[in-house]
Structure formats: structure tokens, C-alpha cells
Amino acid sequence: MLKRDKRREGLRKEDYIIKDQKDATLGRVPGTVNGQQFLVQNCENCNIYVFDHSAAINIDDCVDCNFFLGPIKSSVFIRDCKNCKFIVSCQQFRTRDCNKIDILLCCNTQPIIEASSGMRFGCYQYYYPELADHFKSAGVTVFNNNWGNIHDFTQDPDEQHFSNLPEDAKIDNFLSIPLAEEFSKMKISLDVNDSVVPKTHGNRRKPSNESTLVVFFNDSSCSDRAFSFINAMRSNHSECTLIQTKEVELKPEDAQRVFNVDSYNNIVQQGAVIGMEYNGDDCVETCKTEALNFMKGSAGLIFVSQSQSEAEKQIEDFYNFADMQMAV
């Protein structure tokens, strides 16, 4: 005899579907989706907000619409849509038969497009008070963002189907803060300093020939310290650019290979580390100086490359290892 899933008892299908809407602003507030699957179909000229975490989301046959989709535990699949804009965070991202789609994305795996064109990607930026918890509930990691690492199933040597959005693209040009009454209590911020996901440079051309690796080792405040460091670098050292971040678990032998010393072999066993690549003239010395400020009065350990020559190998070893772990 099959057991009934008590979590699904009392659920109404219509609460998890938006379809056949035109010229409307609508969506769901925190606590109303709560990890269920969601579907949007056949909408035109709508602003659609899903301020909650979900299991999976399918978007079909939408035109001239703007979407905010809260963290998605598995996949978002966008099909047969055109002239739409998305702010979305997920484990897996895929489009098929889409045209002229702009996406601010946080994706923990490699995003995939198929039979799609005019696709433009940028780094996810958004904040509301419940969002960090929604990321945790969905199991989406904010530091493992592959927004620029696109795989095109329909490659064409004569046509590029995707590109990057301008680095200075403004979030409010994508999707404004909703003014509808049902969202009036939402405390939303579009400020890059408030974003739950760090803004990264991605695969764009690096501004400088000098990069460095910064690693925060796991403790009770590792993530908070990493964000504080990012914000301090953004405020005090705008000449340094955050290229990429990764959160990954290292074994002692992995740490030995990345850092070329055994000093960190024990501490990596405490849990996943957060690594960052910074780029910019004199970024090695700049990050070393800023890291010293963070280590004062703190038991938390930070690694920073000691020279440009060492940094090049350490960045390559750390991110090659992280990519292999992500592929497992």
C-alpha cells in the first residue's frame, strides 16, 4: 500500500501555476510555494515574481515578460519564450527554442541553451530578508556561480547564440521592485552591496595580468567573513575585480597540492573552504593587506597568495580541482 505524502495533502494545483495572463504584475510571496514545483505558461507583457524556493520551475510560451524566480532546488527549464528577462538562481538552467532572453543568473552547474539565440547572461544580484534562507532550503550555493560558463547544444560556426550582458547592467532595468499590494511588505534591495550572491566578473576579459587567490577556511563564520572581505574590497579597492568564487571541500592531500605547504592540511578537514580569485594591478599586495585586517582578533584563518608567480599556479590548481569536484 502506497503511503501518502502528508506534505502534499491539501495542496491546490492552481496555487503553483500562473498561466494565460496579460499585462499583469503577479506572483507568490515567501511561504506560499515552499519547495513545491511551479509552472508558468502562456503569459504576455507580465512581471512575475516568485519570492520563495521551489523544487523545479518550467516557463513555457511567454513573450515580453520579466521574471524573478527564487532559488530552485533542481532545474529551471525555459521553452518557447522570447523578449523576456530573468533573475534566477538554480542548480540547473536550460533553455530551448528561445530568442532574445536576458538573464541575471546564479547556477551551480553549467547552464545549457539549445536551439536558442540572442541569449545574454550576467551575474545574479538581489536581496530580500528571506532570500538567504531560501538558498539554503533549495541547496543552491551562492559561491558556486557558473553564470558565464554556457554550453550551447546547437553550436553554429557562423553564429554566436549567446553573449555577456554589459558589466554595468542595472538590476532595475531588468525588473523593478513590485508595487502591487500583495508585495508591499517585501523589503527588497537592488544594491550590489546587499546581494545574497557575490557579483563576479566571470569569463569576461580580465582587466589586469595580475591575479591572486584568497581562501577562507571553514569555521562558524566563514561565509560572513568572506562576504565582509568582498564588501571591504569593493569599497576600499575598486581597482581589484572579483573574477570568480568557489566553495569546495579539500582533503589534506588536495590542500598540499594547491598551497604547496602542509600548513593547511588539518584545517581543511573542518569543512568546505571558500576560494576567490581577484584581479588587478598590485592585487596580491592589496589582498594581503586587507586579509591582515580581517585576521586581527579573529581565530579564522585566511590564505592569500604571496606573489604573482605563486598565485598563477595556485589559482589554476584550486579551480581545476573545484571544477573536477563539481563534475563528479
Binding residue positions for GTP: 91-94
308-327 and 252-259 are packed helices; what angle lies between their axes, rounded to 10 degrees? Answer: 150
For the annotated binding site, the residues are 91-94
| Helix or strand holding residue 91 (H, E) | strand 82-96
Torsion of CA 160, 202, 195, 55, to 10 degrees: 60
Residue indicated by cell numbers 542548480: 91
Residue 303 has phi, psi (to 5 degrees) of -105, 135
Who's near 49: CB < 8 A, 6+ residues apart? Answer: 25, 26, 27, 28, 67, 68, 175, 178, 183
239: exposed, middle or buried (C-beta count within 10 Å: 0-12, 13-18, 19+)?
A: middle
